[in-house]
Structure 1
Amino acid sequence: MNDFLRFLERHLGTIQYGWSKDGDGNKLPFQIVKYSNGHPFSGTTTYSTLGLSNDTLISPVSGKQIRQELVFVSDSTFGDKNIPGIIQQVGLKALHNKMAYLRGDVIGPYGSLFDNSRLEALNVTVPVYFPEAFHTFFDNENTPIVMSWLVPITLEEANFVRLIGWDKFEDKLEEINPDLIDFNRKGLL
């Protein structure tokens, strides 16, 4: 097992299973994996890309090279539902555009992400539900791998981030402290 895989399993739990093909059976350039053991806390399930960081992406702001993996956290009773497909689409878009996602980026809105949910977009942020040691993986040879958390948000929240700023949105999250893994939540606004 390589160092990066050990890093992921130390922070996210043991890999339970994964997806290497899209819904049409086409092989993906990376995998989506599901972890066991309730990380970041009991009652949660975490998913991530695995291998997205094999490609170097570019920061649309600084032009800096970035290696990146995407993380998604859900309630453990939610099941897989659309989660692997959502992460696949986001990862494929990054590879297609050759652009990394930065903190505060909003992906979407694309309509309801889940049945009976007001969540329509994703906000990219640091994985604050995890220890700071998980935010970036450092090896001795390559560009560090940045772990980026995809948080489902409402249309109103997406508009707030775009108009007011991601930093003000994160201030609101700290103030209100919503359950970001509740995909039936009403939204902050």
Structure 2
Amino acid sequence: MNSYINFLESHLGEIEYGWNKDAEDNILPFHIVKYKRGPFSGTVTYSTLGLSKQKLISPTSKKEIRQELILVTYSNFGDKNIPGILQQVGLQAINNKVAYLRGDVIGPYGKMFQDFCLEALYSSIPVYFPETFQIFEVDGDLPIIQTWLFPITFNEAKFIKENGWDEFENRLVDLDPDLVDFKRQSIIR
């Protein structure tokens, strides 16, 4: 795990601090950690750490997958609900034994952050990071996939379910919204 932590810190900066318990003080089967930086200036990254010890199953190919979940926001946003969100999503993956794939929508479950209209998470490849960050190769074991989760609105979640994730990602390319800004407006009206 040390070489994996070195890999993460080489892309995300040093780990600042983390959480290993949920809101009820139960010990989690993985940690949530906050790194000093994100993919560009003024951002920070959070991730699960240890989720990849669980081999999850792809719902489409039925192959085993090891993955960690990442979430990026602006430094001035604060931790808010981010650790709890990553804890819930990670525990859901473990309980269901199912990996999150590109294009998956988690939710909507109502507002994730007070005063903001984001209600679901979208699972994607970490396109804001260098390509070398996407996969960590492990000798003698499955690679660890970095899965980027970013919050989306109810209308965006509905659009993806009705039109497919590839059409949603085409809209993202065309409109280029700031997916790190949790105050952003929906790209789907």
TM-score for both structures, normalised by structure 2: 0.98
Task: Report what 1:115 is aligned to.
Answer: 114
Q: Quick one: distance in 2 between partners of 1:31 and 1:21?
A: 8
Shift of residue 5 of structure 1? 0.6
Give the number of aligned pairs.
188
Letter in 1 for 2:121: L
**Cα deviation code 1:108-154 (max 9, x no counterpart):** 00000101111000000000000000001101111011110011000
How far apart, in 1, do the equivalents of 2:35 and 2:51 lie? 17
User: 2:18 maps to what in 1?
Assistant: 18
SS at match of 1:77: helix
Give distance in 2, aligned partners of 1:131 and 1:182.
Answer: 20
**Partner SS state of residue 141, structure 1:** coil
Match for residue 78 of structure 2?
A: 79
| Structure 1 Cα separation of the partners of residues 9 and 97 of structure 2 | 27
Q: Counterpart amino acid of 2:59?
A: P
Structure 1 residue 56 displacement after superposition:
0.3
Report the alpha carbon displacement of residue 182 of structure 1 after superposing the two structures with TM. 1.1
1:181, distance to aligned residue in structure 2 (A): 1.2
Residue 171 of structure 2 corresponds to residue 176 of structure 1: no
In 1: Cα distance, 2:137 partner to 2:177 partner: 31
Unaligned regions of 5+ residues in structure 2, if any? none
> Cα distance, 1:54 vs. partner?
0.4
Q: What CA distance in whole angstroms lies between the structure 2 residues aligned with 1:140 and 1:175? A: 39
Alpha-carbon distance in structure 1 between the residues aligned to 2:42 and 2:140: 36
For residues 140 and 182 of structure 1, the distance between their equivalents in structure 2, rounded to whole angstroms, comes to: 37
Q: TM-score, normalised by structure 1?
A: 0.98
> Residue 32 of structure 2 aligns to which amino acid in structure 1?
I
- 1:186 CA displacement: 1.1
Please tell me the residue identity of whatever aligns with 2:3.
Answer: D
Q: Supply the AA of the counterpart residue of 1:142.
A: D
Which consecutive aligned stretches of 4+ in structure 1 deviate over 6 angstroms post-superposition?
Answer: none
Alpha-carbon offset, residue 83 of structure 1:
0.2
**AA partner of residue 174 (structure 1):** V
Q: Deviations over 1:24-57 (max 9, x none)?
A: 0000000000000x32111101000000000100
Equivalent position of 1:4 in the other structure: 4
Residue correspondence of structure 1 range 138-153 to structure 2 within 5 A: 138-153=137-152
Structure 1 residues 75-105: Cα deviation after superposition (integer angstroms, max 9, x where no partner)? 1100000000000000000000000000000
